[in-house]
Amino acid sequence: MKNTRFSNYRQLLRFKKPILNPKKRRLSRAHTIYDLRDIAKRVTPQGPFDYTDGAADQEISLNRARRAFEDIEFHPHILRNVDDASLATTLLGRPVNLPVGIAPTGFTRMMNSAGERASSSVAQELGIPFALSTMGTTSIENVAQAAPHGSNWFQLYLWRDRDKSMQLISRAAAAGFDGLILTVDAQIAGARLRDVRNGLTVPPSLSTKTILNAIPRPAWWWNFLTKEPLTFASLDSWNGTVAELMNTMFDPTMTYEDLKWIRKVWNGKLLVKGVQRVDDAALAMKHGADAIWLSNHGGRQLDRAPVPFRLLPEVRKKLGKNAEIHLDTGIMHGADIIAALAAGADFTWIGRAYLYGLMAGGREGVEKTFSILQSQMVRTLKLLGVNSIQELEPSMVSFLNK
């Protein structure tokens, strides 16, 4: 009798096989981007983690951007067949599999040595764009080698030395990059106080503080010290603080005349990133941009800057339905992406969200980031009662607090 009872219960019990690989084990427990952030914080030294996680001054811009996505209300349709939802869309006329790309991020290999090579390769496999920063830690040519069939984009900070800028533009063209992203909200470096307090340098310096911080994170340091030294997209080497490097690169004299010049010398697609006003959005399009990118640099430049998601409806109204509008800052969930598209964006980009995955697990962590976002996006689409990005409309989302 007892054996019969046990056999009845036994079929209800399922024992999970233990995951012996520590990286796979920790990634298997991540179900949200915030989970990846928690893992990244545990395994990454404070300096690199804070460089990714932090923003300017009091970090008000970043916190407002995240709150803006939380402070919305969806208005779903009911009784719709949503058996086969698709996330496919286009970016400036070219098909992409997901409505989100990997935004340009600086010092990426400092977060994990897999860096841009792994991230661009993942983007290629997913059929989404990858953007290499001027302050990236892998060369233009090496990204092209890592993702030869991917949609690679180069993000340009206009240098004081225009010849150096022209060299970068020429290298991106020669490497077959699809487009150029001109960043226009970085006349000087923002006050990134976490970096100042951490004394962050590039490469990281082995001070007493960093050594003590590294003790519980030996895997990161072993990885960093045994892999090839950091190389940069735009210069041979650097040995100083992050702010010093940024102020060396950024040109505070840049104007719309420079945008016109870049339009003349670059034959591919051109995005203008860092637009924060309706009138500037219109002017950027007038001066040659193929698309405008609403961004406050992830809250890393001017604190209390406009929240791109909040600005979006006004810009869409001004530019009309035919202009292409991209958006970033504050995206931590697939529903954030769907909300942005419903409110009028054509495409979105993530920076921190994928870097949390990179820190948490290298290439596999980046794959996990997009696995999480993809499932969240599909679920949100279906719960809204639509089967595709193209069916989204402004009536499906509203801001609770104007």
Q: CB within 8 A of 68, min separation 6: which ones? A: 307, 309, 310, 330, 399
Between 208 and 123, residue with greater pLDDT: 123
Residue 18 pLDDT: 77
- pLDDT beyond 70 at 238: no
Residue 203 pLDDT: 63
203 prior amide bond cis, ω within 30: yes
Domains of the chain: residue spans and CATH? 22-69+94-376 (3.20.20.70)
Residue 315 pLDDT: 98
pLDDT band at 252 (very low <50, low <70, confident <90, very high): confident
For a pLDDT cut of 90, what percent of the chain falls above it? 72
Structure tokens at 384: 């809204």
221-224's contacts with Cβ under 8 Å and 24+ in sequence apart are 221/45, 223/112, 223/113, 224/110, 224/113
pLDDT in tens, 121-138: 999 999 999 999 998 999
Residue 21 pLDDT: 82
Structure tokens at 214: 């590294």
pLDDT in tens, 347-377: 999 999 999 999 999 999 999 999 999 999 9
Structure tokens at 270: 């051109």
Q: Which residue has the tokens 């698709």?
A: 86
- pLDDT beyond 70 at 402: no
Q: What is the mean pLDDT of residues 217-229?
A: 74
- pLDDT beyond 60 at 73: yes
- pLDDT beyond 70 at 10: no
Cα distances (Å, whole numbers) of residue 289 to 180, 183, 269: 10, 12, 8
Give helix then strand counts, H and E, for the chain.
18, 14
* C-alpha to C-alpha distance for 184 and 382, rounded to whole angstroms: 37
Structure tokens at 26: 């920790």
- Sequence letter at residue 235: L
* C-alpha to C-alpha distance for 370 and 349, rounded to whole angstroms: 12
- pLDDT beyond 90 at 95: yes
pLDDT band at 236 (very low <50, low <70, confident <90, very high): low
Q: Tell me what the pLDDT averaged over the chain comes to.
A: 90
* C-alpha to C-alpha distance for 62 and 69, rounded to whole angstroms: 11
Angle in degrees, 0-180, between the axes of helices 352-384 and 33-43, rounded to the nearest 10 = 160
Would you call 75 a catalytic residue per the annotation?
Answer: no
Q: Where are the alpha helices (DSSP H) in 127-255?
A: 140-146, 162-174, 193-198, 208-214, 218-226, 242-249
Task: Decide: residue 90, CB within 10 A, 0-12 exposed, 13-18 middle, 19+ buried.
Answer: middle
Which of 75, 287, 297, 326 is catalytic? The answer is: 297
pLDDT in tens, 20-59: 788 888 999 999 999 999 999 999 988 889 999 999 999 9
Range from 62-76, 183-197, 230-244 carrying the lowest mean pLDDT: 230-244
- Sequence letter at residue 195: D
Q: How many residues does the chain have?
A: 402
Residue 349 pLDDT: 98
